[in-house]
A and B are shown apart, each in its own frame.
Chain A
């Protein structure tokens, strides 16, 4: 019964949308896609998951795509899903893989036998700043306080994160510590399965601070459970205006974790164009704006060749940083 209702509603929205988009649709043969299957290389509730589901929600609600399905395929820090895309490329023409900065990091460390060049690049769609957070009851009011405690006794300040050692959360924490003049190699980084588990550990007092994605902290910070010590944006973000940036505290930390979509290698050109088309059209919809604002994401749209250039630049920057920090 509910399935029937969904169908009807989807049909209705599709009808409305096609009326609304009639003019441009005639011009460019329409950005309509029947179905997109989102492959998520990580567990439910994580950043990739939120990105894929949010994008799918906006695309279907705005009538750009009729139906969207989602599949979580955790493993190998996302490597399994990439391998799966490459191995089964011919049968995955309706599938888009969500990925982000870790695809670059893990290819650099050599854990992935593949890198982004082995997939079809669709587009980078959003960015998410990183944040260093602490328990709302903790004695650290500013990032400087945390650094002072660390300088006094490095082993007493454990910083948690939702990624493996050497992964993005660790990298961001090390960047921030280095920018503050502390030794990032002495930093005690504690890995958790996901941001949620790290937050629980933070609230329980197991770790002094946590390194995680900004969009993942908005809710808990608004609820007053955690305190944001710094975000890696260059200016405060409207989703959480109370969160200070590192820059305003005098630490030069500027980092954006991009998120975007990839497709199977060898995807036919018309499909590639259609995917890029719906993603580009998505930015103008109210549905996307609602999803974006709710999650505190930043629109950073890099489609096609721009995406390749962006990724190559990031590979360079992150690679240098990892060499400097001793991760490589």
Chain B
């Protein structure tokens, strides 16, 4: 293995490949900031470029750089303008955007950068050390367990079910689950609730809904509520708190540590990925936190931002385990990468390490280098990125609106998306004025489809719902989910702080 690492180092550290990874990171970060272009689309855009680089190792290093850059850049729009461009950065906006509104955008971006760096780096180390061993973990999960895992992820809504909000949060979650049923389901092979519209046949698109629920109401709020807009997009003094203090670093360090490992393990599962990892990370960390710390989640907690950021980056790295060792893509992005590998005549799978050791190891080493380069590139850029918010309101609002519309349009190149965006946006704004939390709606929507598909598969295989109690791992995770949802509610009712539970990720 040491020999392999050295081989990878010598490949990845050549001038050409360092340029590749830097270029890839830069392209990925900047395009990734645009909502609507997630890592998957950016990689797909870059594949023709990569293929002209004849050396497979270099091409893969370039694409890996693009991938990390995109994952990393994606959180920026979540934090700054509450516009999560991909599902895996939704959880980052829960606390990232409140931080921005408190004038701590710089600090939030710094925390995100550090948490991403740590998540990616820990992920790369775990990948290097355990990739072959983790294959069996990846294959432990059946549809039944995936279903249960989604239910655990759904418990992230508890963070929005604060005092007097339980009913509202539950309602919004159910509404999100309902919206997820629009379109075709895996089970029935027929379009549902599409009102005969072809545009709805594949369901509502994530990006449109995210923009309509999060970014659009925020922009409208800036106009309708001038008092808040002063704190939202005001003076240049807003971004003075750039760096985190020692105390804050101590506070988030254990969160980052736990979530890097948990996120990686979830990322290894071919059917879960970065989105589930970020929601689970958020839910688990909120539950571990005590008292005032826990209260702060959803209102601008550094922990609440660090958890999903380290988890989604670690998970992105984790999704390389099934790709590199089995040749099975664990996510949309790695599926695109698989296509690129095959186009480069590299066949991922158990033989990759033997047939093309330089590819295997240089990819892993370049992950590490990519993370370092991302951190070096991004930390100095943060003050400039955060300055976007210092724009006067009459420029900032159109800017957000443009971003929002573009995001929902470029994903599908479909103008109907814009109509849905505006309709849902108006609806969401009304809900916001009525003080309904919108995050549970989006969480329900994101997880709903995966929950239904996995449930129907598991029920089909088991000839009924018996898998819910007959499969120990499924049952265990469902009990954890129940505890994660019920305990905080009971605790806040009784007003007595409960002894914190140990972190209970999906025990592999």
Contact = CB atoms under 8 A, between A and B. Distances in A.
Interface stretch (A42-50, A139-147, A240-248, A267-275): A42-50
B270 A77 contact: no
Given A113-B198, A197-B270, A200-B328, A44 B189 contact: no
B339 A197 contact: no
A196 B189 CA distance: 20
A165 B349 contact: no
Nearest to A158: B461
A117 interface: no
Given A44-B336, A164-B186, A223-B327, A2 B342 contact: no
Interface in A179-193: 188, 190-193
B460 interface: yes
A220 interface: yes
Contacts of B138: 200, 204
Contacts of B489: none
Given A2-B52, A219-B349, A223-B347, A44 B44 contact: yes
A193 B202 CA distance: 13
Contact of A76 (B201, B338, B351, B453): B201
Given A73-B412, A223-B350, A190 B461 contact: yes
Contacts of B461: 158, 188, 190, 206-207
Contacts of B188: 165
Contacts of A3: 49
A225 B347 CA distance: 13
Given A73-B412, A76-B184, A200-B138, A158 B198 contact: no
A50 B339 contact: yes
Interface stretch (A27-35, A79-87, A231-239): A79-87
A214 to B, nearest CB: 15
Contacts, number: 151
Which residue of A49, A204, A294 has the most chain B CB atoms within 10 A of its CB atom?
A204
A67 B343 CA distance: 16
Given A53-B339, A193-B453, A197-B271, A2 B49 contact: yes
Which residue of A50, A71, A222, A223 has the most chain B CB atoms within 10 A of its CB atom?
A223
A167 B190 CA distance: 11
A270 B393 CA distance: 52
Given A1-B23, A69-B48, A190-B460, A79 B335 contact: no
B326 A225 contact: yes
Contact of A44 (B40, B191, B201, B413): B40
Interface string A48-88: 01100110010000000001111111111101100110000
A155 interface: yes
B474 to A, nearest CB: 12
A203 B52 contact: no
A79 B52 CA distance: 33
A54 B340 CA distance: 10
Interface residues of B, number: 58
B144 to A, nearest CB: 9
B322 interface: yes
Nearest to B416: A87
Interface in B150-209: 183-184, 186-191, 198-199, 201-203
Interface in B26-77: 40-41, 44, 47-49, 51-53, 62
Contact of A294 (B143, B199, B342, B460): B342
A5 interface: yes
B201 to A, nearest CB: 4
Interface in A90-117: 111, 113
A212 interface: no
B496 interface: no
Contacts of A192: 186, 457
Contact of B329 (A45, A224, A294): A45
A6 interface: yes
Contacts of B327: 219-220, 223, 225
Given A77-B184, A206-B143, A70 B44 contact: yes
Contacts of B338: 45, 196
A206 B198 contact: no
A294 B347 CA distance: 10
Given A193-B453, A200-B139, A158 B328 contact: no
Contact of B335 (A80, A113, A194, A201): A194
Nearest to A73: B412
Contact of B351 (A155, A204, A223): A223
Contacts of A222: 347
Interface in B256-308: 270-271
Contact of A83 (B198, B330, B413, B463): B198
B142 interface: yes
Contacts of A111: 190-191
A166 interface: yes
Nearest to A78: B202
27 contacts: A2-B53, A6-B48, A43-B335, A44-B40, A45-B329, A70-B48, A72-B41, A72-B44, A74-B202, A75-B183, A76-B183, A80-B201, A192-B186, A192-B457, A193-B453, A196-B329, A200-B139, A200-B270, A200-B271, A200-B328, A201-B142, A203-B139, A203-B326, A206-B461, A219-B347, A223-B347, A225-B326
Given A193-B186, A225-B326, 16 more contacts: A2-B49, A2-B52, A68-B48, A70-B44, A71-B413, A111-B190, A155-B463, A167-B189, A196-B328, A197-B270, A204-B141, A206-B142, A206-B461, A207-B461, A223-B350, A294-B345
Interface of A: 1-3, 5-6, 9, 43-45, 49-50, 53-54, 57, 67-77, 79-80, 83-84, 111, 113, 155, 158, 164-167, 188, 190-194, 196-197, 199-201, 203-207, 219-220, 222-225, 294
